[in-house]
Amino acid sequence: MRKVAVVGYPNVGKSSLVNRLTQSREAVVHERSGITRDRKELATDWNGRQFALIDTGGVDLEDTDPLAVSIRDQVREALSDADVALLVVDGKAGFRAGDEEVADMLRKGGLPVVLAANKIDNPKDFGLIHDFHGLGLGEPMAVSAAQGLGTGDLLDRLVELLPEGDEPEDDEDIVRLAVIGRPNVGKSSLVNAFLGRERVIVSDIAGTTRDSIDTPIEVDGRKLLLVDTAGIRRAAKVNESVEYYTSLRSQRAADRADVALVVCDATDGVTSQDLRIAELAMKSGCATALVLNKWDLTSGDDFDLDHERARVNRKLRLRPKVLTTSAKTGRHINRILIEALSLAERASYRIPTPELNRFLGDLTASRETPQKQGRRLKLFYAAQIETRPPRFSIHVNHRNRLTRDYAYFVENRLRERYALEGIPLVIDFVERQQRRRGE
């Protein structure tokens, strides 16, 4: 897909403009500068052309803060990946030295550049844009992300400059993988390890990643779309509105994913917050696994992994697997991705009906069904009726003879038999319409 890199000085309204052009709220917008820290790609279309806008962090070339340096590196990589650059300036604030610095970087890059003067919310302010002719990037275009003024003309100009061809591929077979978890557990480092390059800013400061970022990857010939989400914080700690919207976006990422990896800090073990995040992912319909990152900081002799797995099985009904990895050393990185693909396959696999009925026979032979008023529950027939998530129908004589304990027993044995750990499933116990006397 063709791409447009959206760049500019901090707090000129890049993310607001991206949201306006894509008709979404995917990019985090806030009145405080510096909220967008990672680059994020959002698909859109205009006059029959589909392309992606790359929203980037604000560029301040004078800032020596390590995080600011990382943002500049991300912007440069976004430009290397784009076909057109869109430089956004603050039309109301007027020409600033920082705009000249960014423009100079673009002139050296060789990409076609469109100059957009944002925050021109009233046609009476159109005269303000003439200050920006001095950037030497052609005619500035007056736009308003807030009001929508001039955005149609801007899209026309972008589409005009995009090269022809390279239509988007069919993504029906792509497995969508959400990487979620508490702040600073190493989600971004893990995604970068998956990719083999730095795509997401990594910092010791908790909460560095504030946008959800989609990145395609291929593993053993299978396509994956990685979603690295902003850290999910406990509701009591979400004091800033930025954190509130970020938490919502993380949940939204889980809603549209097929598989979720809940990243935990191995030095903390699986915390109660990690368990809640896993529950959130599984309620969203994701096949889920917990990943203990930073394994290199633990001692295998001191860490009781079996105890941790048993605890997760007690706490979480879906019994997701607990895996170990180290983004820093590369331990088990490929194994984690293969497990994610395997989870997606098992969630979409249909178990043959004869096999399910053999399972029912083994089930009743291993544990007697419950009885009520001297009459016992009978399991007649089982079939799988849906996938993603798997849904099963088990025909019984009387539903009121089914106990919650036995229903959980059936579910747990089904997971064990067909490796459905961490995969949401539904079991419908259907009462047979016509029962013979004495059943």
Record the pTM: 0.59
> DSSP characters for 165-183?
--PPPP-TTPEEEEEEEST
User: Which phi and psi angles does 127 have, rounded to 5°?
Assistant: -65, -20
Query: By the 8 A CB rule, do 351 and 418 touch?
Result: yes
Backbone region of residue 272 per phi and psi (left: phi > 0; alpha: psi in -120 to 50; beta: other values)? alpha
**Mean pLDDT in runs of 10 for the chain (439 residues)?**
86 88 62 46 87 75 52 66 90 85 82 93 90 91 93 95 67 82 85 72 44 72 73 43 48 80 94 90 92 88 87 95 95 94 94 96 95 93 93 95 95 96 95 61
Give the pLDDT of residue 408.
95
Give the pLDDT of residue 57.
66
Give the pLDDT of residue 268.
93
C-alpha 294/C-alpha 329 separation (Å) is 9
Query: By the 8 A CB rule, do 222 and 356 touch?
Result: no
Give the pLDDT of residue 58.
57
User: Which phi and psi angles does 406 have, rounded to 5°?
Assistant: -75, -35
Side-by-side strand order, sheet with 222-228: 213-219, 222-228, 175-181, 259-265, 287-293, 321-324
Closest by Cα among 152, 113, 134 to 7: 113
Give the pLDDT of residue 9.
82
